[in-house]
């Protein structure tokens, strides 16, 4: 009878074979940043409460544009950007997560300043002035609505140029542009309804009404204002409720683009300005 041999193979303990417990911080930084962005998209901001009975707070409209010159919509900024937040409980979970994710809402959200009783420049100035310096530097996407008369012609030029309190030193377009120097994409909607003189000297009826004095002063908002937005890459201008033929709007935007890019060296990043129409 042959002898029987029994072998005992020791099993490795679960504690010996198990690696470190996976966690969010064990993932590569690139993946963590994508997770923070996904969290932002899935935490939309709740609607703001109404100002008073009969005065509902306006809801931001989806910005779907098409180029007036017939070019591909691919030249435009993304139509849908998040309006979300990162929960405070998540930001306070640990110091590393806070410092990695705190800039995501400023980099990904589109900050919308609508015309409501007054120009969108006023709430833009109020918000931006109250932000911390690092928060201003992280702002990337902004949309502003302004009445046509505030765009910088005739008697309304001063209202555009200095729309804050006298002597405050804060309510100027120049100062606002300085504070928005990190913005990459800017959408401006100019509402011509009820305005006599507006963008590019085009009246609500489409007639060209421009004097030499206004022609020279009109570009101050670019030369001594928007040029301070050093990181600006895209500018979309929509002229609503009038403004004449599309060719005039396209020509005006080309002039703005030329002004913004004047003096830039070869190879230096240029600003793209597009005349658009709302959907």
pLDDT single digits (tens) 210-235:
444 434 446 777 888 888 999 999 99
What is the rounded CA–CA span in Å between residue 264 and residue 268? 6
Per-residue pLDDT tens over the stretch 74-110? 677 777 788 899 999 999 999 999 999 999 999 999 9
Q: Give the lowest-confidence range in 10-24, 63-77, 125-139.
A: 10-24
The answer to whether residue 153 scores a pLDDT higher than 80 is no
% residues pLDDT > 90 (the chain): 31
Q: pLDDT band for position 277 (50/70/90)?
A: confident
In a domain, 255, yes or no: yes
Q: Is residue 159 part of a domain?
A: yes
Give the mean model confidence (pLDDT) for residues 155-162. Answer: 44
Q: How far is CA 40 from CA 33, 108, 151, in A?
A: 11, 8, 34
Cα(142)–Cα(233) distance, integer angstroms: 12
Is residue 53 domain-resident? no
In a domain, 267, yes or no: yes
Bridge partners (DSSP) listed for residue 275: 237
Asked, for residue 73, whether it belongs to a domain, the answer is yes
The total number of structural domains that make up the chain: 1
pLDDT of residue 219: 76
What is the pLDDT averaged over residues 177-192?
Answer: 89
Q: Does a structural domain hold residue 248?
A: yes
Task: Please provide the average confidence, as pLDDT, over all residues in the chain.
Answer: 77
Checking if the pLDDT of 155 tops 50, the result is: no
For the residues 133-145, what does the mean pLDDT come to?
Answer: 93
| 45 belongs to a structural domain | no
In a domain, 258, yes or no: yes
Q: pLDDT for 22-42, tens place per residue?
A: 889 999 999 999 999 999 999
DSSP output for 113-152 = E--SSS-THHHHHHHHHHS-HHHHHH--EEEEEEEGGGGT
Query: Which H or E element spans position 178?
Result: helix 173-179
Contact (CB, 8 A) for 101 and 36: yes
Q: What are phi and psi of 193, to 5 degrees?
A: -60, 125
Domain enclosing residue 217, as ranges: 63-82+110-278
Identify which of 186, 183, 176, 199 has the alpha carbon closest to the alpha carbon of residue 236: 186
């Amino acid at each position: 009878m042959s002898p029987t041999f029994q072998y005992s193979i020791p099993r490795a303990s679960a504690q010996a074979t198990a690696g470190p417990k996976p966690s969010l911080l064990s993932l590569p930084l690139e993946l963590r940043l994508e997770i923070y962005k996904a969290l932002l998209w899935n935490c939309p901001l709740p609607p703001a409460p109404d100002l008073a009975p009969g005065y509902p707070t306006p809801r931001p409209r989806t910005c779907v544009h098409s180029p007036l010159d017939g070019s591909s919509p691919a030249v435009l900024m993304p139509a849908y950007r998040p309006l979300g937040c990162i929960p405070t409980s998540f930001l306070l979970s640990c110091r590393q997560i806070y410092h990695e994710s705190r800039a995501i809402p400023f980099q990904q959200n589109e900050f919308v300043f609508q015309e409501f009783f007054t120009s969108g420049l006023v709430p833009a100035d109020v918000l931006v002035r109250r932000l911390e310096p690092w928060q201003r530097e992280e702002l990337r996407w902004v949309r502003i609505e302004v009445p046509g008369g505030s765009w910088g012609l005739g008697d309304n030029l001063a209202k555009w140029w200095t729309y804050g309190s006298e002597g405050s030193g804060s309510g100027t377009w120049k100062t606002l542009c300085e504070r928005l120097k990190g913005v990459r994409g800017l959408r401006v909607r100019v509402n011509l309804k009820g305005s006599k003189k507006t963008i590019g000297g085009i009246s609500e009826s489409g007639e060209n009404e421009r004097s030499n004095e206004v022609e020279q002063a009109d570009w101050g908002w670019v030369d001594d204002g928007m040029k301070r937005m050093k990181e600006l890459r895209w500018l979309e201008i929509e002229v609503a409720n009038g403004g004449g033929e599309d060719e005039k709007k396209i020509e005006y935007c080309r002039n703005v683009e030329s002004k913004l890019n004047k003096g830039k060296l070869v190879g230096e990043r240029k600003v793209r300005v597009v005349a658009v129409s709302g959907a």
